[in-house]
A = this chain, B = another copy of it.
Amino acid sequence: MSNQRKIEVTFLPGGEKVTAEAGVTVSKAAALAAVPLALPCGGKGNCGNCRVVIQDGATAEPTAAELRLLTPAQRGQGVRLACQCRLESDALVQVPPASRVVGQKDLRQVQLREVPLDANVKRYHLELSPPSLEDQRSDFRRLKEAVQDRCPELTGFADALRALPAALRADNYRVGVTAVGRRMADVHPEYATPACLGLAVDIGTSTVVAYIVDLETGRPLSTAAEHNPQIRHGADVISRVEYANTHLAGLPTLRQEVTHVINAITKAALDQIGADARWIYEAAIVGNTCMHHLFLGLDPRHLAEAPYVPVTNEAVDARPAAVGLEMNPRGNVHCLPCIAGFVGADTVAVITAEEMTRQPYPVLAVDIGTNGEIALWSGEKLYVASCAAGPAFEGSQIERGMRAGPGAVDRVDLDTDDLTFTTIREADPVGICGSGLFDIMAVALESGAVTASGRMADAAQAEPLLPGLRARLIGEGNDRRLVLAGDASNGGGVYLSQRDVREIQLAKGAVRATLEMMLEHAGLRVEDLHEVLLAGAFGNYIRPESALRMGLLPPMPVEKIRGVGNAAGSGAILALLSRAERLYAQQVAREAEHLELFRARDFQNRFAETMMF
Contacts and interface: CB of A to CB of B under 8 A. Distances in A.
A83 B110 CA distance: 67
A250 to B, nearest CB: 14
A405 interface: no
Interface stretch (A298-306, A519-527, A573-581): A298-306
B155 A317 contact: yes
B307 A133 contact: yes
Interface-centre pick from A298, A308, A596 (highest chain B CB count, 10 A): A298
Contacts of A341: 136
B311 A138 contact: yes
A139 interface: yes
Most-contacted residue by chain B among A144, A311, A341 (CB, 10 A): A311
A344 to B, nearest CB: 12
Interface in A135-150: 135-141, 144
Contacts of A296: 158, 161-162
Contacts of A311: 138-140, 161-162, 164-165
Contacts of A236: none
A84 interface: no
A157 B161 CA distance: 24
A267 to B, nearest CB: 22
Contacts of A158: 296-297, 316, 318, 322-323
Interface residues of A, number: 46
Nearest to A132: B307
Interface in A62-90: none
A136 B309 contact: yes
A156 interface: yes
A309 B155 contact: no
A337 to B, nearest CB: 10
Interface string A545-564: 00000000000000000000
A298 B165 contact: yes
Contacts of A138: 309-314
Nearest to A599: B133
A422 to B, nearest CB: 45
Given A140-B312, A144-B314, A298 B156 contact: no
Interface in A300-359: 301-302, 306-314, 316-319, 322-323, 340-341
A309 B144 contact: no
A360 to B, nearest CB: 31
A31 interface: no
Contacts of A144: 314
A302 B133 CA distance: 12
Given A131-B307, A166-B299, A317-B155, A312 B161 contact: yes
Contacts of A132: 307
Contacts of A161: 296, 298, 311-312, 316
Nearest to A340: B136
A388 B27 CA distance: 57
Nearest to A289: B138
A504 B323 CA distance: 56
Contacts of A594: 136
Contact of A314 (B140, B316, B318): B140
A56 interface: no
Interface in A108-164: 131-133, 135-141, 144, 155-159, 161-162, 164
B306 A141 contact: no
A314 B340 CA distance: 43
Contact of A139 (B140, B312, B318): B312
Contact of A133 (B136, B140, B165, B306): B306
B141 A313 contact: yes
Given A166-B299, A299-B166, A316 B136 contact: no
Given A136-B340, A136-B341, A298-B161, A155 B316 contact: yes
Interface string A232-269: 00000000000000000000000000000000000000
A52 to B, nearest CB: 29
B312 A157 contact: no
Contacts of A139: 302, 309-312
Given A141-B312, A162-B311, A166-B299, 20 more contacts: A131-B307, A136-B341, A136-B594, A138-B310, A139-B309, A141-B313, A141-B314, A144-B314, A156-B312, A156-B314, A157-B322, A158-B297, A158-B322, A158-B323, A161-B296, A162-B296, A162-B299, A165-B301, A165-B302, A319-B319
25 contacts: A131-B307, A131-B309, A132-B307, A133-B306, A136-B307, A136-B309, A136-B341, A139-B309, A139-B310, A139-B311, A140-B313, A141-B312, A144-B314, A155-B316, A158-B297, A158-B322, A161-B296, A161-B298, A161-B311, A161-B316, A162-B298, A164-B312, A165-B298, A165-B299, A166-B299
